[in-house]
Structure 1
Amino acid sequence: MNTKKIVGIFLLSLCTMCFVNCSDDDTPDDPADTITLNMLNEHNGKTYLGESNVYINEANNFITSKNFISDVGNGAGVGANILPSLTNLTHEVAVTPGHIYQIFDKNTLIDFPSGNYAIQVETSYYQAYVVSKIVNSDMNIGAIVKYISVFPNNNGLPAYRYNIGSLYRIGETVELALPQDIEFFLKEHSAGIKGLNVTYANNKLRITLTKAPDIVNGPYGTFDLYIRSNNVFTIVEVHVE
Structure 2
Amino acid sequence: MEKQPLPVRIQGALFYGALVLMKRTWNITIEGKENLDKQYREGKSSLICFWHGKYIPIFPLLKGYDACVITNQSERGNVITEICRKFGFVNAQIPDQTNRNSYKILREAISSKKISGTASDGPLGPAKQVKSGVVRIASALGYSLLPISVGVRRKITLKNRWDNREIPLPFSRIYLIIGTPIELPPNLRANQVRIWEETASREITALSEKAENLVHKKSKRRKINEHSQRKTN
Task: Determine if the TM-score, normalized by the shorter chain, exceeds 0.5.
Answer: no
TM-score by length of 1: 0.22
Quick one: higher RCO (CA 8 Å, sep 6+), 1 or 2? 2
TM-score by length of 2: 0.23
Higher strand share: 1
